Amino acid sequence: MATISLRNVRKKYGGFLAVPDLSLEVQHGEFVILVGPSGCGKSTLLRMLAGLESVTGGEIAIDGEVVNDRMPRQRDIAMVFQSYALYPHMTVAQNMGFSLKLDGRSKAEIAERVQEAAEILALDKLLDRKPAQLSGGQRQRVAMGRSIVRDPKVFLFDEPLSNLDAKLRVQMRAEIKSLHNRLKTTIVYVTHDQVEAMTMADRIVVMNAGQIEQVGTPLELYDRPRSRFVAEFLGSPAMNMLPGTLGGEGGATALRMEDGTTVPIPGVGIEAPAGREVVMGVRPENLSLARGGEGVEAVIDVVEPTGSHTLLIGRIGPHAVTCEIAGRVPVASGSRVRLAADPAALHFFDGESGARIEVRPLVAAE
């Protein structure tokens, strides 16, 4: 276990500033996931942490020791690569024991630790095989086994599940999480898959354009995204975004869209003046079918029953909207329905900067 400190870390490739200025603290035994779209700098950051990329500026410390100038082998880290990066000319056992061999450990110790790791990962019957004789999931396990035999201070995972099929990914997600619960080693994990981030992380770091957008627990980020970027990135289906202008007096009471459609916003006061351009966000599961004249009218283009839920995909005014309703609903494609949302579940973002605008309940005013 170890702490990790990134202090004002910068990375420049020629004239391109990949990471402008980034600071982050990771605690002992924490499972931190860096998530963001392709090119946001998350893998660069992980590679700098591993020592595979130089640091242009700032400091990286592992367990309090600055490691900027240390080679990867001097950092006491282990890394699982997206491509697995197994040594093709070695058997599973040799792959797993390679680092211990380089470290000068005895054959008996190597065999014992490889066997131990192989049992944890259910690889004990595959130790004599070469990587070419393994399935994708088994190769992924070997890559993890190669890391855990070393008992390093920090595990680094670079999109380790992205080459697996959907079913195996779900299984491996659970295995990695249970491995972390068992070993309690500090993990920094990179992914662009927000579901992986939400389901596995103790804390998520959402990155965009080389900078941290928000750091927090999965539910903090889900419930109170600090920006429109975070709100749209986390959650599947993604949060619905309805841009418009605030209307009403003393705290907004309606959102007027560019085509004149008005969405009533009852029960909340928005800390923004009327007439301000905003984006109202609402998660698909927070929308429901309204009765009578409540809510706002939506045209449903597609109905997708998933068994446990029904997805209604359509439009409110000119903007696409997705509504996720538990169970099954008698709505047909092409029909018009009225959708309403719990006011407490509404999010507002500045129309220009995308920054979150706080809302307050208007209970006292009633």
Binding mask 49-68 for another protein (x = CB under 8 A): -xxx----------------
Q: Supply the minimum distance, in Å, between the C-beta of residue 137 and another protein.
A: 12
**92-102 vs 136-148: helix axis angle to the nearest 10?**
20
Sites for another protein among residues 156-185 (CB under 8 A): 163
Rg, Å, the chain Cα set:
25
Q: Does 136 participate in binding another protein (rule CB under 8 A)? A: yes
Positions 205 through 264 that interact with another protein (CB under 8 A): none
Relative orientation angle of helices 92-102 and 107-120, to the nearest 10 degrees: 130
CB of 38 to another protein, least distance (A): 18
φ/ψ of 6, rounded to 5, equals -110, 120
Of the residues 22, 35, 77, 242, which one makes contact with another protein according to CB under 8 A: 77
Tell whether residue 128 is a contact of another protein (CB under 8 A).
Answer: no
Per-position x/- string for 138-157, each x denoting binding to another protein as judged by CB under 8 A, each - no binding: -x------x---x-------
Question: Which bin fits 85, alpha (ψ -120 to 50), beta or left (φ > 0)?
Answer: left
CA distance 232 to 193: 13
Residue 265 binding another protein, by CB under 8 A? no
Task: Identify the residue among 24, 33, 40, 78 touching another protein (CB under 8 A).
Answer: 78
Q: Does 89 bind another protein (CB under 8 A)?
A: yes
Query: Which class for 10: exposed (0-12), middle (13-18), buried (19 or more C-beta within 10 A)?
Result: middle
Report if residue 304 touches another protein, rule: CB under 8 A. Answer: no
Which secondary-structure segment (H or E) carries 357?
strand 356-357
Q: What are phi and psi of 146, to 5 degrees?
A: -60, -30
Binding test (CB under 8 A) with another protein, winner from 16, 38, 69, 71: 71
How many residues belong to the site for another protein (CB under 8 A)? Answer: 32
Give the nearer residue to another protein in terms of CB position, either 84 or 349. Answer: 84
Rounded CA separation 7/302 (Å) = 48
* Of the candidates 198, 125, 193, the residue with the CA atom closest to the CA atom of residue 160: 193
Q: With contacts defined by CB under 8 A, name the span among 35-43, 96-104, 181-189, 244-252 that binds another protein.
A: 96-104
Tokens 């999931």 correspond to 137
CB 38 within 8 A of CB 190: no
Q: How far is the CB of 170 from another protein (least distance, A)?
A: 19
Sort 336 into a burial class: Cβ within 10 Å, 0-12 / 13-18 / 19+: exposed
Q: Which of 9, 22, 26, 84 binds another protein (CB under 8 A)?
A: 84
> How far from chain centre, in Å, is Cα 154?
19
Stretch that binds another protein, among 94-102, 192-200, 250-258, 340-348 (CB under 8 A): 94-102
Q: Which of 300, 337, 334 is nearest to 315 (CA)?
A: 300
Does residue 98 touch another protein according to CB under 8 A? yes
Task: Report the DSSP pairing between strands 203-208 and 31-35.
Answer: parallel
86 contributes a contact to another protein by CB under 8 A: yes
For the bound state, the minimum distance from the C-beta of residue 254 to another protein, rounded and expressed in Å, comes to 52
- Nearest distance, CB of residue 331 and another protein, angstroms: 40
> Does 72 sit near another protein (CB under 8 A)?
yes
The residue ranges that bind another protein (CB under 8 A) are 50-52, 71-73, 77-79, 81-89, 98-99, 102-103, 130-134, 136, 139, 146, 150, 163
